[in-house]
Structure 1
């Protein structure tokens, strides 16, 4: 009997991810039926069901009624089965707080914890990662979430090792993904993990889905701006000194704080360190120059404080998931490295 893949949906579920999951599982079944990929012996594409906590239809974020196949029943679920939570229409900290206090989501949190205890692989994307984290299955593990909610996630779940630069994070039997359309990446990762990497690759090719390891390239620096005046002053200081590397002591002096206080304020506001924040500002400026000028990459590296062009390329790739040349090519500003 094939394993089960259940999508657990709540009122406010994002419409796109639900459809993406349906398309990907259906495409996987077509690929296997056509003989394009051979699965390991005994493996089959899972049966896909959409379930809610009560078995009643839910109202999507777009205001549509979404029929479900029934209520989430844990009986019969175990190792080999997958429970996926598509992203919810919760885009702000206030909406996160209100959502996690809802009775249906509170009940969903309990069911997720019990499913994980039975050996079910559990996964979530976008703001549904908050539901997963509330079940405590992520404690002590790495995880990602939609990148602009990273600071909110880090404050609420300090025992989770947050990696907002990653599109998908696999931590044992728990998978998380970033923004709503990272649900496609999540589903492909689940196919690769539970069935076959070759199947996931074939489905990605069939549906013309890019392979994206990082969501860092999509981060807009304005979302990292904070109402904290210390953080705003730090940003001004770093921006005025992009051509050189500044020390933590210099940053603390410029913001009239101690290094320890500065680190605490930045961690609270941005869920990162002052040094990492400075690095992101430098890379953001580098991206801007790559997209809007024809300056050589080595000159841009020096302009944003990297005397060693090779080191700049390593940091740029780690932060954005691509090389400087790839970024320039996408922006249609011709040049070479």
Structure 2
């Protein structure tokens, strides 16, 4: 019996598939030392033979059994390199995609679990597995997934979403977060933590700190103008009412336009711009957290910490370079660098 079935699909990110296998190999080496179950897996594809990955690399996989009995393994779909709406639409229209979706649906109906990251999450929609569930995907694909799966709650801010037999993750390198999540469920926190330390990877709770509103909007000029206006006005961001007036529309119309383009409310979009600026200041300046909070319009560092913890799943210190973290987060300006 296998714990995991890794599906090698054509056009999958080579890094996403490789990270999946590397993490499992590390877990297999560490599990006996920790006294936890050793993970077992197989690498399969809908058709046997060489699978061509994104960028031209190839990997050999065995055939995925058509009707495997008592297969309770977790099927793992590494991220696909589908970076445009057209590419996703074309992939979903392919006959082999429809056939795979039926097999995924049967696997879940038979008691199995399925996990997917990045644009592989879109394969779960024709399988009928997203309706009524919460899911995530690459943050810039979230509005498209919401349109294709209106019955799904698409949460672009999250790195990993687990809902029943389905677990989804964000953009391609969120595959590492997804695999750590699976290892935690399989062998406990000790195994996931040991693999994380061995491979020098950190589990991240959210995509929110990485979201660029203008990219999320997929070219919508209104969103780009709104984000620029908010950032230019910091530390005094305009209210939603002021933004609506500036763009000569009602608050309701503005909200509808923003939600259609990004899947977020106007207020959430304003908040994301402020958090993005806060992160940039934390990473690239010697300002204290209190000073950063003031620069983006929060009354104190407590408000910024609370918001970053809620939205990004991390405290401001997470974004500090290691050499500055202690001094800056204690409210003491870091010493200037010495020349030479």
Q: TM-score, normalised by structure 1?
A: 0.89
1:167–1:229 CA distance, 2 compared to 1 (3 A): closer
What residue in structure 1 maps to residue 337 of structure 2? none
Q: What is the number of equivalent residue pairs in this alignment?
A: 329
Q: Deviations over 1:306-328 (max 9, x none)?
A: 12431122112333333223323
Pair 1:197 & 2:181 matched = no
1:77–1:264 CA distance, 2 compared to 1 (3 A): farther
Q: Deviations over 1:168-191 (max 9, x none)?
A: 111122111112222122122112
Pair 1:219 & 2:216 matched = no
Alignment of 1:176-255 (within 5 A): 176-224=168-216, 226-255=218-247
Displacement after TM superposition at 1:195 (Å): 3.5
Any idea what SS the aligned residue of 1:68 has? strand
1:21–1:226 CA distance, 2 compared to 1 (3 A): closer
Any idea what SS the aligned residue of 1:18 has? helix
Any idea what SS the aligned residue of 2:173 has? helix
Pair 1:136 & 2:128 matched = yes
1:192–1:300 CA distance, 2 compared to 1 (3 A): closer
What residue in structure 1 maps to residue 335 of structure 2? none
1:236–1:14 CA distance, 2 compared to 1 (3 A): closer
Q: Distance in 1 between matches of 2:243 and 2:214?
A: 20
1:184–1:227 CA distance, 2 compared to 1 (3 A): closer
Q: Deviations over 1:250-298 (max 9, x none)?
A: 2221211122211111111111110000001111122222333333322
Displacement after TM superposition at 1:9 (Å): 2.3
Displacement after TM superposition at 1:5 (Å): 1.4
Any idea what SS the aligned residue of 1:36 has? helix
Displacement after TM superposition at 1:213 (Å): 1.6
1:96–1:25 CA distance, 2 compared to 1 (3 A): same
Any idea what SS the aligned residue of 1:237 has? helix
Q: Distance in 1 between matches of 2:109 and 2:213?
A: 39
Q: Distance in 2 between matches of 1:313 and 1:65?
A: 45
Structure 2: state its 5+ residue gaps: 332-340
Any idea what SS the aligned residue of 1:10 has? coil
What residue in structure 2 maps to residue 147 of structure 1? 139
What residue in structure 1 maps to residue 9 of structure 2? 10
What residue in structure 1 maps to residue 274 of structure 2? 282
Displacement after TM superposition at 1:222 (Å): 4.7
Instruction: Report the more deviating stretch, 326-335 or 238-247.
Output: 326-335
Which of 54, 57, 69 is the aligned partner of 2:62?
Answer: 69
What residue in structure 2 maps to residue 168 of structure 1? 160
Q: Deviations over 1:221-272 (max 9, x none)?
A: 5523553343233224323432235433222212111222111111111111
Any idea what SS the aligned residue of 1:175 has? strand
Superposition RMSD in Å: 2.2
Q: Distance in 2 between matches of 1:199 and 1:229?
A: 46
Q: Deviations over 1:17-68 (max 9, x none)?
A: 2222222222222223xx32223xxxx4343112222334321112133211
Contact 2:8 2:51 in 1 (8 A): yes
Q: Distance in 2 between matches of 1:330 and 1:298?
A: 18
Any idea what SS the aligned residue of 1:69 has? strand
Pair 1:97 & 2:89 matched = yes
Contact 2:136 2:161 in 1 (8 A): yes
